[in-house]
Structure 1
Amino acid sequence: MFTNSSVKSVLLYGSKTWRGTNTLTNKIQVFIDRCLRNILKVRWTDKVKNTDIWKQANQDPIGQQIARQKWRWIGHTLRKPPEDITRQALQWNPQGKRRVGRPKTTWRRSCEEEMKNCKVSWGELKKAAQNRVRWRTVVDDLCSTRIPRE
């Protein structure tokens, strides 16, 4: 579909490294829903659910697509040699004291939260990433918490 080939790829460029907030995801989803409705010629007076539009356009929710890209990139990075700078950055743990108050939700903390929800540890992910076929199933498990396809 046209949205996959041009608009969405530009819109989501680098999204695998974004801190995934609900506000940002919702804003992107609203824009994509509007584009899909224009492409499919669905008017606002037609009471059609967004999930029905996604099924008709063969699309997943944008949060699921971003999460899938992110976990694919993490697997790619974990397969790199240990001396590679991107792998070192992925596993870097800053030292020192943090500010008083609630810690900010960082990209790494959001990844750890997704791993915790699926009951997977970082060590298990590092081991699974070495096998591409196994990694694809791990990515499917991590990203399947959204709307299932029929």
Structure 2
Amino acid sequence: MYGAETWRTTTTTIKKVQIFINSCLRKILNIHWPDTISNSLLWERTNQLPAEEGIRKRRWKWIGYTFRKSSNCIARQALTWNPEGKR
């Protein structure tokens, strides 16, 4: 999930990412169709977090990092920018 902290996330995107991660984890654990386990048990066995929580943690970490930068940094200016005027 490289760069996930800056993604514009929707429920559809998060769901697609989570489905992909779950299928990869099931392949790693060699779990095939008749042998099914719940997603929460899968995450517990692999010591993983749901994709939404992981993205949220990374986003907060990135925001904190960006706000600690100097005030003339472009990334910080973009976060604090308040456009004036009407559309």
Q: Which range, TM-score by smaller chain? A: over 0.9
TM-score with structure 1 setting the length: 0.55
Query: Cα deviation per residue 1:83-110 (whole Å; 9 max; x = unaligned)?
Result: 2111111111223335xxxxxxxxxxxx
- Which residue in 2 is equivalent to 1:41? 30
Whole-angstrom distance in 2 between the partners of 1:66 and 1:31: 15
Q: How big is the shift at 1:44?
A: 1.8
TM-score with structure 2 setting the length: 0.92
Identity %: 48
Question: Counterparts in 2 of 1:25-36, with a 5 A limit?
Answer: 25-36=14-25
Q: Secondary structure at the match of 1:52?
A: helix
- Which residue in 1 is equivalent to 2:45? 56
Whole-angstrom distance in 2 between the partners of 1:43 and 1:26: 21
Off by >4 Å, runs of 4+ in structure 1: none
Query: Cα deviation per residue 1:90-138 (whole Å; 9 max; x = unaligned)?
Result: 111223335xxxxxxxxxxxxxxxxxxxxxxxxxxxxxxxxxxxxxxxx
Q: How big is the shift at 1:28?
A: 0.5
Whole-angstrom distance in 1 between the partners of 2:73 and 2:52: 29
